[in-house]
Amino acid sequence: MQGYSWQGIDSLGLPQQGSIKALSKTHAKDLLTEQGVRNITLRGVTQSVHTYPYVGWLMPTRASGIDKKELAYFSRQIASLLTAGIPVIDALETLEADSKPRLRAILRAVRASLGNGLNLGEALALHPETFDNGYLALVRSGEAAGELGPALTSLADSYMRAQQFRHHIRQSLVQPALILATAAAATWMLLAFVMPEFAAMFAQQKRSLPQITQWVLQLAETVEHQGKWWLFGLSASPVMGLWCYRRSEFVRMLLDGMVLRVPVLGNLCQCANTADMCRTLAATVSAGIAINKALPFAADACGNHFFQRAVGGLVSQLENGVRLHDAMAAEFCFPNTLRRMIRLGEESGRLEHMLRQATAFHEEKLHRAVSNFLPLIEPLLMVLLGFVVGGLILAMYLPIFAMGDLFQP
């Protein structure tokens, strides 16, 4: 689903404008035409980039000062009010009074958008810095099914689990990060300040140096003369890479496809996107929405653009009579376990149940993989630190040991 801003004329001949999400420009024009809009002008809107789950776990997720915990609390509260039969606008006004200033401003803007005729999903979509694609997908599916309260409750539960998971991983990565920073600082200081002094001392000797010492001296000379360019390159490369990722659809597809093929990272990304897709599909299918209509919502919930495109591509195959598990077989990004579970759900008529089971299974698999991987990081970093710093010290002292042989009788 792509975002488009549009301008046109309504059935009364008045100029109108707004934003819409659709599979293509043609799809967007068809949707607007059904609403009575004519003389339509469309312009693509750059969507906010999903923070990868495997990146988002490592840092606090804040958008305009609103973190996941606050958003989860808001979702649970508004779900309770909607379940009690309170209208959306009144529920937002009730929560607005007790919210923090930033969230209060957003809720006020959302309430104003609802008053202008937008539904909740469209109003929230005007604030992509706060409500990501996954959030919007579940809200829209809940609205389409008339089950907005349960959808928001599911969102709150999901956000709280994600918040606890991120906290656990951040806590586990503090010590390895300190070790890595210490190793990098120690290596830089040895190469930039210590090795040049040893090089001057070695230059006075007329003996050949050990090969490892020669390598380290060459590296120290490179750091001394080109170190600032290295630092500039290391700082600029991520910025340029992020800029290209945001601006180019080709780069996003290329990098996201490569990520899915990386042994460890690809498995984590596959599990996270599969869980998000199945959670949204289960919510929409349980509300009575046809699977081909539910897939665009599920695609929006996925953070990986390659995975998202693969989910969106299933719609055309389903409309041609292909069963869901057979359609998934053509894409490598869908796990074999997922395809088997969906096949069982389709054959038994319990697709919703199997989608919920698939969500729980892949969430548990993701948690288990991360929990098993994290304890290995610190020992590996310690070994790396020993090799690097130990190698530098060995390179410095081997020639000194060789000098001692000159004084032996």
Beta carbons within 10 angstroms of residue 311's beta carbon: 27
Region of poorest pLDDT, from 51-60, 132-141, 209-218: 51-60
pLDDT at 113 over 80: yes
pLDDT at 162 over 70: no
Q: Which of 183-187, 320-324, 368-372 is the most confident on average?
A: 320-324
Please write the tens of the pLDDT for every residue from 336-352: 899 999 999 988 888 88
Residues 6+ apart with CB under 8 A from 224: 191, 192, 196
Q: What is the mean pLDDT of residues 43-59?
A: 42
pLDDT score for 190: 74
Percent of the chain whose pLDDT exceeds 90: 1
* Distances, alpha carbon 363 to alpha carbons 156, 279, 313, 403, in Å: 16, 10, 24, 61
pLDDT score for 74: 84
Region of poorest pLDDT, from 22-31, 125-134, 266-275: 22-31
Say if residues 25 and 42 touch (Cβ distance below 8 Å).
yes
Please write the tens of the pLDDT for every residue from 139-160: 877 777 777 787 788 777 777 7
* Distances, alpha carbon 255 to alpha carbons 59, 249, 261, in Å: 21, 10, 10
* pTM for the predicted model, two decimal places: 0.61
pLDDT at 403 over 50: yes
**3-state SS assignment for residue 71:** helix
pLDDT score for 3: 65
Say if residues 126 and 19 touch (Cβ distance below 8 Å).
yes
Query: Helices (H), strands (E): how many in the chain?
Result: 17, 5
Confidence of residue 57 (pLDDT cuts 50, 70, 90): very low
Residue among 82, 90, 68 at smallest CA distance from 135: 68
pLDDT at 392 over 80: no
